[in-house]
Amino acid sequence: MLQRRHIHDYIARHAMLAATLFAGGLVIAIAVALYLRAHPLLASQSLAALLRGHTWAPSRGEFGFLPFIAGTLWVTAVAAALAVPVCLLAAVYLAEYAGPRVRAVVKPLIDVLAGIPSVVYGVWGLLVVVPYIAETLGPYAQRHWAHLPLLHTDYTTGFSILAGGVVLAIMISPAIIAIADEVLRAVPREYREAAQALGATRAETITRVVARKALPGLAAAVVLGLSRALGETMAVLMVVGNWPHVPTSIFDGAYPLPALIANNYGEMMSIPLYDAALLGAAFLLLVLVLAFNLLARVVLVRATREAV
């Protein structure tokens, strides 16, 4: 009997190891496949020229990726600025302050938000967010914020980085709130009781004890949400304007990498290097997501060491 249990344990351990290696290997396989398909473009032009190039004109053989990289980073940054503080505060309220009745109502609503298709968010942004920016917020910014960096505008149709950021912020909020709420609730109650026994207020207990203990999980929630924002396609494509230039304001239009691939792949493939350029854009997007996750992990490790 004991020998059989050891055999089962051995099989289970190695099966889980194989599954883990397979999951990690998928990332490497996808990256290699995209790189090989993009290699003809990299062989004809230097990587530095492609990354610094401002012009996207496939018919002339010009493939500048800078506007698309900038558009991706701008939209993600705006979504993060709008979503992360609100989501973390909402998670703290649900985990630490809300009663059972409030949680019973709010949690299902958050789950519903997480299940709404991205195209529905895109249509909502097209019908509500874009007109509001064009008719109200844009003119107000033109009158009062023209002297401010990142907020200046001469004219906006509403199709802008801000519209994409608002839609993305709403899309990623359910995931961040749900994960952060579970992480905070997983902190043992003894930590709270010990802090309050020493005279800490409830707010001090949350910020100095519970949040520090839950920091890795909270960071993971934010990283997962922003990773989705980096790769989101349909909703952003519908509201961001798809204008290939380097933005200077949140009221400018942009053209993120996912929208570039979705809009153009399968068309005009007779143009030399066009297919390689679009797959190169997919490879760049994958690298951006991986770099963002690695950077977040480094920052989290340092923050955890300082908090100890």
Would you list the domain boundaries of the chain? 45-307
For the cut 70, the answer to whether the pLDDT of residue 1 exceeds it is: no
Residue 89 CA to its chain's centroid (Å): 18
Q: What is the DSSP letter of 59?
A: G
Query: Best-predicted range by mean pLDDT among 66-80, 152-166, 223-237?
Result: 66-80
Task: Strands of the chain (E only): list them.
Answer: 56-57, 62-63
pLDDT in tens, 213-262: 888 888 888 888 888 888 887 788 889 988 888 888 899 989 998 888 88
Chain position carrying tokens 């997962």: 224
pLDDT at position 304 is 63
pLDDT at position 268 is 59
Q: For residues 214 and 184, is the Cβ–Cβ distance under 8 A?
A: yes
Q: For residues 275 and 37, is the Cβ–Cβ distance under 8 A?
A: yes
pLDDT in tens, 33-58: 999 988 888 888 888 888 888 888 88
Per the prediction, the chain carries an average pLDDT of: 86
Which residues sit opposite 249 in a β-bridge?
Answer: 150
Between residues 57 and 304, which one has the greater pLDDT? 57
pLDDT in tens, 262-287: 888 766 566 778 888 888 899 998 88
pLDDT at position 84 is 93
pLDDT at position 8 is 79
CA distance 205 to 121: 37
Residue 217, SS3 per DSSP: helix
Lowest mean pLDDT among 14-18, 125-129, 150-154, 221-225: 150-154
CA torsion through residues 92, 93, 95, 96, sign: positive
pLDDT at position 303 is 62
pLDDT at position 305 is 66
Tokens linked to 19: 């599954």
pLDDT in tens, 178-217: 989 988 998 888 888 888 888 888 888 888 888 888 888 8
List the CATH code of the domain at 45-307: 1.10.3720.10
High-pLDDT (> 90) share of the chain, %:
25
For the cut 80, the answer to whether the pLDDT of residue 131 exceeds it is: yes
For the cut 80, the answer to whether the pLDDT of residue 87 exceeds it is: yes
Q: For residues 254 and 74, is the Cβ–Cβ distance under 8 A?
A: yes
Under the banding of pLDDT at 50, 70 and 90, the label for residue 168 is very high
Between residues 280 and 149, which one has the greater pLDDT? 280
Lowest mean pLDDT among 114-118, 185-189, 295-299: 295-299
| Residues in Cβ contact with 95 at an 8 Å cutoff, skipping those fewer than 6 apart | 180, 181, 184, 185
Mean pLDDT, residues 69-73: 91
pLDDT at position 239 is 92
pLDDT at position 307 is 53
CA distance 228 to 220: 12
